[in-house]
Amino acid sequence: MSKLGERLATLLGLSAPVPTRKYTRDAAIVVLPPPAQVRLALTGLEAVVAAGDEVAAHALVARSVPGARWQRRIHTPLGGRVESIAGAVVVRGAPTSAAAAAVHRDPATLDRDAIVTAARDAGIVGLGGGMFPTYAKLTATHPIDTVLVNGCESEPYFTCDHRVLAEHRDEVECGMALAVRAVGATSSAVIDREDYYPAGYERFVVRDRLGREVPPRHLPRDVGALVLNVQSARALHRAVCLGEPLVSRVITVAGGAIARPGNYQVLIGTAVDEVLAACGADATSAAMIIAGGPMMGHQISAGDTIAAGTGGLLAMTAAEVAARVEQPCIRCGRCVDACPVGLPVPLLIERPGPDVLTCFGCGACQYVCPSAIPLAALMRAASAREIRWD
């Protein structure tokens, strides 16, 4: 849409209410130098190495506990010495350690099992934030006719998937072709519309592209679609064709307290403060560090690490995230108009029903509320109550 058209749409109230601020669209991906150590969280996983072991870069360090429903694997991005395996595998890097030589496999020669096995062994997960094992999506028993690669980065500030598409489209498309082979789909497409928030919600990608509604409590696979994040598709390509496990990702680092906002390739397990320091974060003006987007992300501390699902880091100034005093609801209905799934937000908060489970926490209602009522938090609380009751 043209700038003028966009303005006109905003003026007439036809456009989505949440702005898509993209300051780093043209910032090419910068590879950050490897950190001295990485910290890989062990939630639901058990380490296969012991403290004191020497490991090579890209070596397997943790996997699912026996009997787990899905097989997850974690590989170390750094070669070096295992410092600790308590709660997280901490690997201190040795500069001389090199990764195993890449293999080169022709995707056209691979069958379904080879692709799924490679994805599983490489520990590929959903890099859009869900972190669901990708191999499990590829082995779905439902008939799937369409593979959609989700490049709809509708969160404000976020541009990392856009840059990956701009710079590595061939890799993304190879990953998409592999997914098509794995599930026996007949069509595929890369979707990158960002014209409204939250266009990137999986269900909306399927609806907008295929005209198929994914019913509540169902998944895209139930309507014959497989949705992969851009970077997951790229990781799938790298795992299958190059034998590279999931050890790095591209994130957007932005916010008012960042001197050099941009898109950075970082190793999974890197400490947040190291990434921020490398991007010129001003510790005194950063009032809040957010992992994920400004709409659906969460506040983290500088000591946390980059996870596979961390799409970006935002170091926001106090002015950017200024809290306002909550005021009485004036029934203006902006939240109802803003809700992308059409929920009567204030009524559901008053009397929670099963509908609250349709809410996926996009936060548009809270964004538009002129009375600064924490609607998203209230909806989360209502959902939690409903799930417990259920």
Q: Which residues bind other proteins (CB under 8 A)?
A: 11-13, 17-18, 156, 288, 290, 292-299, 314, 316, 320-322, 324, 327-334, 336-337, 342-344, 346-348, 351, 353-355, 361, 363-364, 366-372, 376-377, 380
77, 34 contact by CB (below 8 A): yes
Compare residues 95 and 342 and give the one whose CB is closer to other proteins: 342
Nearest-angstrom CA–CA distance, 154 and 187:
24
Cβ of residue 19: shortest distance to other proteins, in angstroms?
A: 8
Q: For the CB of residue 232, give the shortest distance to other proteins in the complex, in Å.
A: 22
Which residues on adjacent β-strands are paired with residue 74? 62
Q: Tell me whether residue 189 or residue 318 sits nearer to other proteins (CB atom).
A: 318
Residue 280 or 346 having the CB closest to other proteins: 346
Q: How far is the CB of 13 from other proteins (least distance, A)?
A: 6
Give 44 or 333: the residue with its C-beta nearer to other proteins: 333
Within 8 A by CB and 6+ apart from 230, the residues are: 127, 149, 150, 151, 161, 164, 165, 172, 190
Report in angstroms how near the CB of residue 95 gets to other proteins at its nearest.
38
Residue with Cβ nearer other proteins (98 or 372): 372
Give min distance, CB of 343 to other proteins, in A. Answer: 7
- Closest approach, Cβ 367 to other proteins, in A, equals 5
Shortest distance, position 376 Cβ to other proteins, whole Å: 6
Q: CB within 8 A of 366, min separation 6: which ones? A: 335, 373, 374, 375, 376, 377
Quick check: helix, strand or coil at residue 55?
Answer: strand
Q: Of 228 and 379, which CB lies nearer to other proteins in the complex structure?
A: 379
User: Closer CB to other proteins, residue 46 or residue 337?
Assistant: 337
Look at residues 285, 280, 296, 289 and name the one whose alpha carbon lies nearest to residue 313: 289
Q: Is 266 or 290 the residue whose CB approaches other proteins more closely?
A: 290
Q: What is the DSSP letter of 381?
A: H
Locus of tokens 């417990």: 388
Find out whether 246 and 133 touch, Cβ atoms under 8 Å: no
Cβ partners under 8 Å of residue 2, min gap 6: none
Nearest distance from residue 5's CB to other proteins, in Å?
17
Please check whether residue 269 is in contact with residue 39, taking contact to mean a CB–CB distance below 8 angstroms.
yes
Q: How far is the CB of 254 from other proteins (least distance, A)?
A: 12
Burial class (CB within 10 angstroms; exposed 0-12, middle 13-18, buried 19+) of 69: exposed
Sheet of 146-150: strand order equals: 187-191, 146-150, 225-229
With respect to other proteins, which residue has the nearer C-beta, 66 or 328?
Answer: 328
User: Tokens for 387?
Assistant: 């799930």
- For residue 321, give the 3-state DSSP assignment: coil
